[in-house]
A and B are shown apart, each in its own frame.
Chain A
């Protein structure tokens, strides 16, 4: 008789004894490996309560967190990218877009919406890293532009939550000029005397850092977010040395004078609310 011979056929656990463990019921922190239930993790706003690791989340989560009762109205939700340059690398750009839409259920890497925050009307734009690395193409630029136009029209503050790998190479020059376009619109917001609060989250790099993300009246970051123009790999290759501990993280940028504050996600809404009351008190 073999060692592994079954004595009885089939699965013998009674259904009444089975535990319900649905897919994704647990979250293991990639930083400290602590395991919590998905529900606990969500209740903690996707922040590890053990080591303060801020998990990357998207526009859905931020809108729910920041808008009063999660209520908001999307601006230009149906806007989608075209392929004006007919760009193909190892894959065609339309195929990449299609795959990203399928994977994320989003139309592009940024959503913008109007609503209230602490009772004050605001416009919030938020990037989605899951969509082609949160890269900035024409849609991201145009949606920010429309968001700012809306802010100016309504005389309300503009908030942008950045989370991006930088420019979208598949839109080449068009993508580069979104840096110019968003800056052009921000200069109009400044002229209108309306506050712009930039929230930098992990990761914010490249052309996004070198345009709207760094141009806030207030630059606020989540803890330990990677914030860079050139990413750490490129810098490391350039200088041929290992990078110092904490290089290009929020705390590093604050020390070097580029951030007004580092705010944990649990306090983000309260701090934004406070900032708006301070800067936009006349309304």
Chain B
């Protein structure tokens, strides 16, 4: 288990717990009282820390290396019966954007999301979850496929941004994202979007148009990362914490500003502290949304999707 800096007290307690258990088994001593006390203390301290995370700490948790990534969810949600579908039928198969078919509680769904790597080699292979235009085009191809067979779409968003590379620009990164926005607005099947980690800018929004747009509790979603915001507005990388606050990027802030539809709670200490609980929560949430969205008339669903996004923004006329 990796611990974040602000999780240091939890780490210490957990180490003490391991020691106590160790002593118990080695010396044949009854340490029950100590162990129970420590376990209670861990819960208490974790609750305490996680109940008042700063915006920047949310960002750190969202990037935690132990967090489940898109393919973990895809596999878990479909009980391991997930078939990945590759390629945009044009240029190549983007490894930073994955998608495929599976059943969630008996309902076939098209799952699409950005995938990060679990180690250095895989992080490079997955391009750190930064999709190229062909990734967005693959996503759109899969959505169109889903539409053809009346299969709802679930997107799992986790990206530090669309890849700002030379080939990405040559192949029209802007156009690829823009195309997804307009196509997703009119897609005739339900779309559920869930921010499972980082929701950075157009790269996130490119698969983020949905009837239900939800954020996991410890994720962030904004127009730019706090680091880049700091570098542009403060002309230095040192103001990322202030930038994180200023950007109002947490689920609570995004919900208060009516930019998402809701927040899905995470297990205590974040999704990675109890993956099974996280998968179960997400599965039941998605099942609920599908129950609500599937019976709706497609035109009405599209109308309310469009109305929702059309109402976003604050102006004085």
Contacts and interface: CB of A to CB of B under 8 A. Distances in A.
Interface of A: 76, 78-82, 84-85, 87-90, 137-139, 141-142, 145, 167, 169, 171-181, 183-188, 190-191, 206-207, 209-215, 227-230, 234-235, 238-239, 241, 243, 247-248, 256-258
Nearest to B136: A210
A173 B221 contact: yes
B45 interface: no
Contact of A177 (B166, B232, B309): B309
B80 interface: no
Max count, chain B CB within 10 A of own CB: residue among A81, A207, A258: A207
B194 interface: no
B276 to A, nearest CB: 31
Interface stretch (B22-30, B70-78, B174-182): B174-182
Interface in B161-219: 162-166, 168-175, 177-179, 181-182, 185-186, 201-202, 205-206, 208-209
Nearest to B166: A239
Nearest to B167: A239
Given A90-B233, A169-B223, A176 B182 contact: no
B312 A181 contact: yes
B170 A80 contact: no
Contacts of A80: 315-316
A110 to B, nearest CB: 12
B254 interface: yes
A172 B248 contact: yes
25 contacts: A81-B316, A89-B233, A138-B315, A173-B248, A173-B249, A173-B254, A173-B257, A174-B259, A174-B313, A180-B185, A183-B181, A185-B310, A187-B182, A187-B306, A210-B202, A211-B181, A229-B169, A229-B173, A230-B173, A234-B164, A235-B166, A238-B163, A238-B164, A239-B166, A257-B172
Given A76-B317, A256-B172, A183 B310 contact: no
Interface residues of B, number: 55
B174 A209 contact: yes
Contacts of B178: 179, 183, 209-215
B246 interface: yes
B38 to A, nearest CB: 40
Nearest to A175: B223
B162 to A, nearest CB: 7
A188 B239 CA distance: 41
B180 to A, nearest CB: 9
A172 B169 contact: no
Nearest to A91: B233
Contacts of A174: 257, 259, 312-314
Contact of A167 (B166, B177, B224, B314): B224
Interface string B260-304: 000000000000000000000000000000000000000000000
**List of 8 A-B pairs having minimum Cβ-Cβ separation, nearest first:** A230-B164, A138-B313, A209-B174, A183-B181, A229-B174, A89-B233, A176-B223, A177-B312
B246 A207 contact: no
Contacts of A88: 246
A233 to B, nearest CB: 10
Contacts of B96: none
B229 interface: yes
A210 B233 CA distance: 22
Given A176-B223, A183-B181, A210 B173 contact: yes
Nearest to B184: A183
Given A79-B315, A172-B223, 17 more contacts: A81-B315, A89-B243, A90-B233, A142-B313, A169-B224, A169-B233, A169-B247, A172-B246, A173-B248, A174-B259, A179-B205, A180-B205, A207-B202, A209-B175, A214-B172, A229-B202, A258-B175
Contacts of A238: 163-166
A257 B90 CA distance: 14
A185 B309 CA distance: 9
B311 to A, nearest CB: 8
A87 B242 CA distance: 10
B313 A187 contact: no
A256 B317 contact: no
Contacts of A212: 178
B222 interface: yes
Contact of A180 (B171, B174, B312): B312
Contacts of B315: 79-82, 138-139, 142
A230 B306 contact: no
A81 B179 CA distance: 28
A194 to B, nearest CB: 14
A100 B316 CA distance: 17
A189 to B, nearest CB: 10
